[in-house]
Amino acid sequence: MTIEDRQVVDLIAARENVVSLVIVDHLAWKDVLGHLALLQDKVNDYVQFLEAGELKRVETPRIPDDPSVQIVLASKYPSPEAVSEELESLRGQLLERGFSFEVMTRVDV
């Protein structure tokens, strides 16, 4: 699954008391507005998943009781500087809901 697949969580990882919901982003940033729209839709799907309590139903990996939850954008390509403000805004919106947001870029392509 990837950023293009709606209403599914691409990857869930759990380590100690942190659970990461990963968005797998294989797309280049050629269409910045379209890419941001895909990201916003996917993040909204993840928030809906979390707020509906679906994380408690996950069997693998084992989810710790009362974990810290982060949404991670695992991107194949670095985001352009032009979207840094939007990513910071998204980070702030997620923090207000109790979730952190991280961006990881694969640099060893």
**Rg of the Cα atoms in the chain:** 14
Give the residue numbers spanning the domain of 89.
Answer: 11-105
Residue 98 domain-assigned? Answer: yes
Give pTM, 2 decimals.
0.93
What confidence score (pLDDT) does residue 106 get? 80
Q: Which of 42, 46, 30, 11 is nearest to 82 (CA)?
A: 30
Residue 5 lies in a domain: no
User: What are 50-88's pLDDT values in tens digits?
Assistant: 999 999 999 999 999 999 999 999 999 999 999 999 999
Which pLDDT does position 37 carry in this prediction?
A: 97
Within a domain: residue 1? no
Domain assignment of residue 77, yes or no = yes
- Number of independent structural domains in the chain: 1
Contact call for residues 46 and 95 (beta carbons, < 8 A): no
Residue 28 has pLDDT above 60, yes or no: yes
